[in-house]
Every structure is written in C-alpha cells, then in structure tokens.
A = this chain, B = another copy of it.
C-alpha cells in the first residue's frame, strides 16, 4: 500500500477502462475514497455488485461532490456531455482528466465545458483489450504499458504532475506530447490497425466463394489475430475514427499507396522487391518484443502451444 495520492477520486463511466482504474487504485490504496457513476443504470448495478468503488452514485453530481480528481472514462463522443454534466458540481480547484483514445478533439470540446476554477489534464492509457463493460476490467491492465498525457492550456503544472503520479502508481510509464502529435502516433499504432481489421473481417464475410465456416476453420493461418481486434466495441471505435479524422485519413492514404505498390509487385512477379520489403519489417517486431510490449512465444502462449 502506498500513501493515498488523492483524498477522493470520482470515475465517470464504469466500463473496461474506468473499472480497471478503480480496481488498480483500490488495490494500491491510491485514493482514500473512490466513487463511480455510469450513464447506464444496469452498469451501475453490476458495478455495485462487483464492488470496485466505495460508492456507485445514482447521479454525476453525487459522484463528483468534493472529489479532488474526476476521471472521464466514457466513449470519446460522450466526453463533452459527461463534462457538462459534472461541471456545475466540481469542487473548487478539482482536477479533471480523461482516458479518451483521441486527444485534439477532446481538448477542443471538453476544456470549454469545464469551469475556470478546474484544471484539465488530457490523458490516454495505451492499454486495452477487445472486451468492454465493468466485468472486463482488471487492476493490472496498465502495468508495463505507456500512458500519454497531452497538457493543454487548461492544465497546470501541479495537475499534470498529480495525474502523472497516478499513472506511474498504476504501473505505467508516462510520456508527454502535444494532442496533435498523439493523434498521429495513435493513428498508426492503434486506429488504422483497428480499421483494417474491421475491414478484412467484413471482406471475408462478403465473399461468395468462401463460406463463413471455412473462414472460421482456417483462421489459424493469420486471420484470427484480426478477428480479435475486430471484436472491439463498435461505439468506442466509431467515435475514435470520427474524432481523429485528419490523422486517420492521412495515414490511411499512406497505407493504401503502399498496398498498391505491393499489389503491383505481385502482379509483375517482382519477387526481389517483395522479399526486401518483408525483410525490413522484422526489425520493428524485434523492437516490440525487446520493449516488453509483446511476447516472443509461439502462438502467444495459446493453449496448444510449444511444449518441446
């Protein structure tokens, strides 16, 4: 147990990320009191049963009363409404942070909804799974991961430091950058991979010559890794695409150009260029493993894996 970093923390939105933060803070004693609120009565009930908050309130007002820190963990498209709902009830000098997967749009829409006396520290933990809802959360989700903080005009040095200390205590390494740079980095490392995964699973479903049962049976050839990503929450991702449009369209344009080049190499039997291209990408894989962001296990340690 660490000394509590905060007296009272309120979590708004009790899904995968919000409930994982509450669990992590509880496990490590980072807040004297944790309250929660969710727009869905059903999620509130399930969260009460799961017990990761000291109190799940029936209104945003009750949840944020006297809170030193308020965490917005709702879908990106709901961030402004969630900020507006808590704004009148924030304690003087409260810190508000968020966990949204896009940052420039959130700085634009959330900052202006908050009262002048509150500080706002935009954040994004780069950790997640394809599951959602309060049952999907777990305290260790952020361990060994990076969390991006993108200070804005409404962030004070003290508030940035406190939110950073929270993420460090949850096991993450904090990196600070501008909201715009965040949006382009995440476009390539997270958003475009999701778009492509959704797309190929859709393409597979539409082929007339191949049955869905065949796609499923033979998915171990590579396809299954895309189905995992494409099982992610549709509402969350819709919001992410629409709120990071410029960076997404820019990176997607690059991706399509590069794909057209590979397609041409295949059409014209240019084996040497294909091989060169494929060899080049191995370095990045090594970097991902060395940085502890993945394991080198055959098959990710899936049950039928390596036993030799």
On chain B, the residues within 8 Å of A306 by CB distance are: 138, 140
Provide the bound-state CA to CA distance between A9 and B303, in Å.
29
* Given A146-B217, A209-B181, A251-B207; A277-B227 close (CB under 8 Å): no
Interface residues of A in 275-308 (CB under 8 A from B): 275, 277-282, 284-288, 291, 293-295, 298-308
* Given A186-B218, A300-B302, A304-B144; A256-B256 close (CB under 8 Å): yes
* Given A136-B298, A258-B202; A127-B220 close (CB under 8 Å): yes
On chain B, the residues within 8 Å of A8 by CB distance are: none
Q: A175 on the interface (CB 8 Å rule)?
A: yes
Q: A6 on the interface (CB 8 Å rule)?
A: no
Interface size on A, residues (CB 8 A): 119
Q: How far is the CB of A212 from chain B (nearest CB, A)?
A: 7
B308-A259 in contact (CB<8A): no
User: What is the total number of copies of this protein in its complex?
Assistant: 2
Provide the bound-state CA to CA distance between A219 and B145, in Å.
10
Q: A197 on the interface (CB 8 Å rule)?
A: yes
Query: Chain A binding site: helix, strand, loop or mixed by DSSP?
Result: helix
Q: A224 on the interface (CB 8 Å rule)?
A: yes
Most buried by B among A145, A234, A238: A238
On chain B, the residues within 8 Å of A266 by CB distance are: 241-242, 245, 248-249
Provide the bound-state CA to CA distance between A285 and B227, in Å.
5
Q: How far is the CB of A230 from chain B (nearest CB, A)?
A: 4
Report which of B126, B231, B281 forms a contact with A227, defined as CB distance below 8 A. Answer: B281
Nearest-CB residue, chain B, relative to A277: B202
Provide the bound-state CA to CA distance between A239 and B272, in Å.
11
Q: A215 on the interface (CB 8 Å rule)?
A: yes
Provide the bound-state CA to CA distance between A249 and B279, in Å.
22
Shortest Cβ-Cβ A-B pairs, 8 listed:
A190-B221, A234-B278, A193-B222, A300-B300, A231-B285, A201-B281, A138-B308, A129-B298
- Please give the residue numbers on chain A whose beta carbons come within 8 Å of chain B beta carbons, in ascending order: 23, 77, 101, 126-131, 136-140, 143-146, 148, 175, 181, 184-186, 188-207, 209-210, 212-232, 234-235, 237-239, 241-242, 245, 248-249, 251-252, 254-256, 258-260, 262-263, 266-267, 269, 271, 274-275, 277-282, 284-288, 291, 293-295, 298-308
